[in-house]
Amino acid sequence: MTTLKAIISDIHGNIEALEAVIADIKSQGIEDIYCLGDVVGYGPNPRECIDLVMETCQVCLLGNHDQGALFDPEGFNAGAERAIFWTRSVLESGDQQSNDRRWEFLCDLPRMFNDGDFKFVHGSARNPLNEYVFPEDIYNQLKMERIFGLIDRYCFQGHTHVPGIFTENLNFFTPAEVDHEFELTDQKVMVNVGSVGQPRDGDPRACYVVLENGQPTSSSSEDSDDQSEEETAQASGLTKLIYRRVDYGFDETAAKIYDIPDLDNFLGDRLRDGR
């Protein structure tokens, strides 16, 4: 039996991207959705994104922008800081009961979630909230060894908005380099699932990951020669991840950003270029 789980991250108040991704997830019959944080920040629809995440996600983690909305932002550049203060003002305006529900949701978000061999964080296993792990960090052996030392098998993360797979032997593979699919073996890996609402890998389409976990099934040796490739994978308990890219109306999101004085126009410009 194969189970499917969708892993999303870094929505950043982009409701157009989130709605498109949720629709793509539902079209595959996937019910379990994990969000790795940064539901808000940068984008023009923080309330709507929080509401949809609360409605659709079984697990949601705290991101550094979510924490910035709750408390004073730390280490943010000027544009990100203005955006988070604007986000906070939006979450404090309007219907009080709805506001209270959203604040309570953000306050209760954990920094890490473990599910068997799978660890889920926003930043890294070493610093779940704030540490960036960039592709070029494969050349920083000490950093990578220390992070991998905290991972039992597989770690899923976001934060950089750059999708790809880090292996324990210090390789990094972009989704294109693995043809958008990667089999999980005994080797430790860190998987950056990319960003729903603000991709930064040169592709403006929303990005997320589907985790396909094949539960081992019993089969007799007499039937093994007749099994299809898919049946053989399921029998062996094959687990793989699949990168998905989803088109959405980024021009509509950008136009909203341009209409809000407290949001830097660059936050809209970058959506078109995926940067």
Segment-wise mean pLDDT, segments of 10 residues, the chain, 275 residues: 92 98 97 98 98 98 97 90 97 93 97 96 98 98 98 97 97 97 96 98 98 64 48 59 98 98 97 94
pLDDT of residue 215: 62
The reported pTM is: 0.91
Q: Which residue range(s) make up the domain with 171?
A: 2-273
pLDDT of residue 24: 98
Burial 230-260 (b: 16+ CB within 10 A, else e): eeebbbeebbbbbbbbbebebeebbebbeeb
Q: What is the CATH number of the domain that holds 251?
A: 3.60.21.10
- Give the count of domains, the chain: 1
